[in-house]
Chain A
């Protein structure tokens, strides 16, 4: 099963998508991570690699490029803010005639999924948050030094390979296919636009609108909570998405949502879906199957 690249236009902006899987079934929307223009890895739909066919075994899968990543126009610097990106994602779902999706978000994508689950719950069938350092409560956490000394030139092959090694348990998944795609994404106009936009210090300090939404997220989780089945998939060796933080987020969400699950995948860093794709699929696809089974029952 090959994944087909295509694009749609949403509010005048080009959105690149990667589709695979059968035509029928409950659709899965994959939302990649990374802070476009800042992250030393140029994320995009190309990141899902070996997880795509496993996730698509029984469901149509759509992986999007977020604005400023891969082949998706940035359009406006506002599209580098989480709440705006979430609005945009709903537009993408409209454009694809997807009413409800199983949303699976990695890293920043998991944070976006969390906000979508709160702000537009009717559009989600379930939520999977994968290794997201920004989704849990931060407390007075230490600064993240994982990418303190990223080699220059930024977004070169060497630099991105180094960055993947920093956040991976094993190096086997960091192959030419991955690095070629990441270098191509980095050199594309959307990413260059994001890099240029983030030269603005004010915009940079807003950190993709993550801190601004946090208070609203916690208020919502303490109020009605999340109304859809939610799972957190963390890894044994992720220097950024710490196990404890993920488990705290699980406890927060579990207060109000019965169907909340926490999982740990062994010998993986940030990219469990690449590093241990079968164990990743075992956890994630069985979750989707059980959500669909409950809905059918």
Chain B
């Protein structure tokens, strides 16, 4: 592993994406490399007109780690280039979690190392709780969704001064998430614009906002599921090696929350570690790719041994 180069190489491109039918949902994903499977799950949720995450957000980790691992980054249900939920009542985190688990099953992967960021950190934790047979280890990155503390992002990132679906708006959001606004590259914004450009993405925003799926299903269901999830963590139902990675300067997630999550999991689970990165906002894996990649590689190797 000492031979792995943890530094992203400028100009290196992601491979051509693949598509797979996951219980009727056409799902886009990127896959490269051989070895222990690492599955990345990004954050955000469907129905946002001022920012849009998709699988290439992991490019700085996916590419360097592909030299030593089988890395897989997929688009979540209703995000990126994966189909929208079929019904309004499927606009829930529970559906996103079910789809994520079904994606792992569809690829016929051996138990995977899950890496989830933000809402994806919650999603991966939930997969590890609901489908432990699919999971070998869990990495939770800056997840306000999983934190028992309040998340101030609705304040910090509210009222974008730019029009919806614009590059400027996305840039404003991701710069607001970051410690160093310079990490928000044009390439990253290109990926956001690609997502915005799809008619199906605007449909998801319509469903969530105009048709009220957000207020009716997503938010209240998540609140219930989160209560259950935190209860399960306190009961010790998370039984896989777990590491928590947090940015010290994340304006949207209180740093205290990572200590709370550590305590809940560590009380029952020996192999639990907490890692706080300085000069890192919400996207520590993009702001400190070398540190993140080295940590993930060592963690995965340990969890596989």
| Residue of A258, A266, A282 touching B279 (CB-CB under 8 A) | A258
CA distance A69 to B288 in the complex (A): 39
Partner-binding segment picked from B170-178, B214-222, B266-274: B266-274
In the complex, which residues of chain B have a beta carbon less than 8 angstroms from the beta carbon of A266? 262, 266, 269-273
Bin the interface of chain B by size.
20 to 34
Task: Kindly list chain A residues whose C-beta atoms are within 8 Å of the C-beta of B294.
Answer: 286-287, 289-290, 293
Q: Which of B7, B259, B270, B276 contacts A293 (CB 8 A)?
A: B7
Contacts known (A258-B279, A281-B298); A293 close to B271, Cβ less than 8 A: no
6 more CB-based (< 8 A) A-B contacts, given A254-B248, A286-B295: A243-B259, A263-B274, A287-B291, A290-B293, A293-B6, A293-B290
Q: Smallest CB-CB separation from B300: which chain A residue?
A: A282
What are 17 pairs between A and B in contact, CB < 8 Å? A251-B248, A260-B278, A266-B269, A266-B271, A267-B266, A267-B270, A281-B298, A282-B295, A282-B298, A283-B273, A283-B275, A286-B295, A286-B297, A287-B295, A290-B288, A290-B293, A294-B290
B26 contacts chain A at the CB level, 8 A cutoff = no
Inter-chain contacts of A286 with B (CB < 8 A): 291, 294-295, 297-299
- Interface positions of B from 138 to 157, Cβ below 8 Å from A: none
B2–A57 CB distance below 8 A? yes
Q: Is the CB of B275 within 8 A of A296?
A: no
Q: Give me the 5 closest cross-chain CB pairs, A-B, nearest first.
A: A286-B294, A58-B2, A264-B274, A260-B278, A254-B278
Min C-beta distance of B22 to chain A, whole Å: 32
Query: B277 at interface (Cβ–Cβ under 8 A)?
Result: yes
Interface of chain B: mostly helix, strand, loop or mixed: mixed
Q: Which residues in A have their C-beta under 8 angstroms from that of B291?
A: 259, 261, 286-287, 290
Give per-residue flags for A200-214: 1 if the beta carbon is below 8 A from chain B beta carbons, else 0. Answer: 000000000000000
- Given the complex, which residues of B lie within 8 Å of A283, measured CB to CB? 273, 275, 295, 298
Residues of A within 8 A of B (CB): 57-58, 236, 243, 247, 250-251, 254, 257-267, 276, 278-279, 281-283, 285-287, 289-290, 293-294, 296-297
Q: Which of B262, B266, B294, B297 has the most CB of A within 10 A?
A: B294
Residues of A within 8 A of B288 (CB): 290
Do B7 and A261 touch (CB < 8 A)? no
Q: Which residues of B contact A278 (CB under 8 A)?
A: 302, 305
Is there contact, CB below 8 Å, between B272 and A296?
no
With a 10 A CB-CB cut-off, give which of A250, A254, A276 has the most chain B CB atoms.
A254
Question: Measuring CB to CB, which residues of chain B are less than 8 angstroms from any residue of chain A?
Answer: 2, 5-7, 248, 259, 262, 266, 269-279, 288, 290-291, 293-295, 297-299, 301-302, 305
A-B contact count (CB 8 A): 99
The minimal Cβ–Cβ distance linking B146 to chain A, given in whole angstroms, is 17
List residues of chain A with CB within 8 A of the CB of B5: 293
Residues of A within 8 A of B277 (CB): 261
**Cβ of B297 to closest chain A Cβ, rounded Å:** 7
B7, B248, B279, B298: which contacts A285 (Cβ < 8 A)?
A: B298
- Closest chain-B Cβ to A54's Cβ sits at a distance in Å of 10
Chain A residues near B2 (CB, 8 Å)?
57-58, 289
Most chain B CB atoms below 10 A, which of A251, A257, A285, A286: A286
Tell me which of A243, A254, A260, A279 contacts B273 (CB under 8 A): A279
**Most A Cβ at <10 Å: residue of B288, B295, B301:** B295
Q: Contact: B270 with A296, CB < 8 Å?
A: no
- Does A297 lie within 8 Å of B7, measured CB to CB? yes
Alpha-carbon gap, A258 to B274, bound state (A): 18
Contacts of A267 in B (CB 8 A): 266, 270
- What separation, in Å, do the CA atoms of A57 and B298 have in the docked complex? 12
On whether the beta carbons of B298 and A296 are closer than 8 Å, the reply is no
Tell me which residues across on chain B come within 8 A of A296, comparing CB atoms.
7
Q: For A250, what are the chain B residues with a Cβ–Cβ distance below 8 Å? A: 248, 276, 278
Q: Which of A58, A282, A289 contacts B299 (CB 8 A)?
A: A282
Contact call A282/B278, Cβ cutoff below 8 A: no
- CA A264 to CA B2, docked complex, whole Å: 24
B266 CB to closest chain A CB (Å) equals 4
Residue of B nearest to A58 (CB): B2
Task: Give chain A residues whose Cβ lies under 8 Å from the Cβ of B305.
Answer: 278
- A57–B2 Cα gap in the complex (Å)? 8
**A281 CA to B7 CA, complexed, in Å:** 20
Q: Which residues of A contact B272 (CB under 8 A)?
A: 266
Task: Give the docked Cα–Cα distance between A243 and B293 (Å).
Answer: 25
With both beta carbons as reference points, the residue of chain A lying nearest to B10 in the complex is identified as A297
Q: For residue A254, which residues in chain B have a CB less than 8 angstroms away from its CB?
A: 248, 278-279
Q: Known contacts A286-B295, A286-B297; is A263 also within 8 Å of B6 by CB?
A: no
A26 to B302 CA separation, bound complex (whole angstroms):
23
A243 to B259, CA, bound (A): 10
Check B7 against A263 for contact (C-beta < 8 Å): no
How distant is the Cα of A22 from the Cα of B282 in the complex, in angstroms?
38
A266 to B203, CA, bound (A): 45
Question: Which residue in chain B gives the minimum CB-CB distance to A278?
Answer: B302
Q: Smallest Cβ distance from A128 to chain B, in angstroms? A: 13
**Considering the chains assembled together, what is the distance between the CA atoms of A186 and B302 in angstroms?**
35
For the complex, give the distance between the alpha carbons of A259 and B179 in Å: 13
Once A266-B266, A266-B269, A293-B7 are accepted as A-B contacts, the answer to whether A261 and B276 lie under 8 Å apart by CB is: yes
How far is A261 from B247 in the complex, measured between Cα atoms in Å?
Answer: 10
Task: Select which of A57, A259, A294 is within 8 A of B7 by beta carbon.
Answer: A294
